Amino acid sequence: MITIRNLTFKYRTKDMFDNVDMDIEKGKITSIIGPNGSGKSTLVKILVGLYRYNGKIEINNIPLLKDNRKEIRKNIGVVFTNPDNQFVAETVMDDIAFTLENMNYKKIDIRKKIEEVSKYLGIYDILECNPHDLNSNQKQLVSLASALVHDPKILILDEALTMLDPYDKEKILKILKELNSKGLTILNISHDIEDTLISDKIYVLDKGKIVLSGTKEEVYKEEDKLHKLGFELPFMVELSNRLMFYDLIEHVIYDMEEMVDILWK
Ligand code: ADP
Ligand code: MG
């Protein structure tokens, strides 16, 4: 879905990327993790066409160039860490409508699309509220609705789960998994390794370089390398490893409910 080849990018005062290659596969959940300052948000800004870069990027088989970034953005939905910085309107309804108005949707279609997405995400009842008055989970769902309302092919989350408490995070992860099973490609970016449990593939970024990549099984095996970058193994992996040591389970279990089920038996 996204192919990145020889990506090179410099800020005026700083070399950021030097010949980076990456593949975000269609229909998969890919995570990029890295410490603060490793270049994750810079990459997102490049992907939505905000920065000029050297190298080759294709999104849904369209080369990412300055003059077609509007076309490219139709394929993408983005959610950032702090939804408050993204709200543009006085009501949730108008806020979600904003994406579609920018894409010249007809009024009647806008209404239909908002109804659809807000019912799906469970925020239909708060469409008339001011987004700033909502709790953090609702805010993040509104941001997600704005990112999804135009049916993008790929959803990019830039630390979108960071501000949520574990319970809300779990709920949103479930929604993401379900959207993915319906065909949405997801690029999930985080500095927290716990957020990578739902991924098919993980890239670990450090100072603009990919230092580790592979399936989550492959990446979680590299405990030493992860430690050096300041990452512990995700809790469920750590727990599984210990339980396997005592022969209580046979393989790593990523889902807490599944773990409880198996131990209960
Ligand atoms: P991350 O999202 O992984 O925390 P960023 O992509 O935000 O990292 O930043 C990567 C590096 O680039 C950091 O060292 C940051 O200070 C620097 N940086 C970010 N934005 C700019 C900018 N507009 N000009 C110069 N340097 C920047
Ligand atoms: Mg960032």
Contacts of 261 (CB under 8 A, 6+ apart): none
- Please tell me the predicted confidence (pLDDT) of residue 255: 87
For ion ligand 2, residues whose CB falls within 5 Å:
40-41
Does the pLDDT value for residue 99 go beyond 90? no
Enumerate residues lining ligand 1, CB below 6 A.
Answer: 11, 13-14, 16, 34, 36-42
Q: Backbone phi, then psi, for 220, in 5-degree steps? A: -65, -20
What residue's CA is closest to ligand 1, atom 23? 11
Distance 139 CA to ligand 1 centre (A): 25
Where does the pLDDT of residue 79 fall: very low under 50, low under 70, confident under 90, or very high at 90 and above?
Answer: very high
Chain centroid offset of residue 135 CA: 21
Sheet (strand 76-80) strand order: 76-80, 154-158, 185-190, 29-33, 201-206, 209-214
Where does the pLDDT of residue 122 fall: very low under 50, low under 70, confident under 90, or very high at 90 and above?
Answer: very high
Q: Which atom of ligand 1 is nearest to the CA of 44?
A: 6
Would the pTM count as exceeding 0.85?
yes
Substitution candidate for ligand 1 out of 11, 20, 36, 191 with most atoms within 8 A of CB = 11
Does the pLDDT value for residue 199 go beyond 90? yes
Where does the pLDDT of residue 126 fall: very low under 50, low under 70, confident under 90, or very high at 90 and above?
Answer: very high
Which ligand is closest in space to the CA of residue 158?
A: 2
Query: Rounded distance, CA 65 to CA 63, Å?
Result: 6
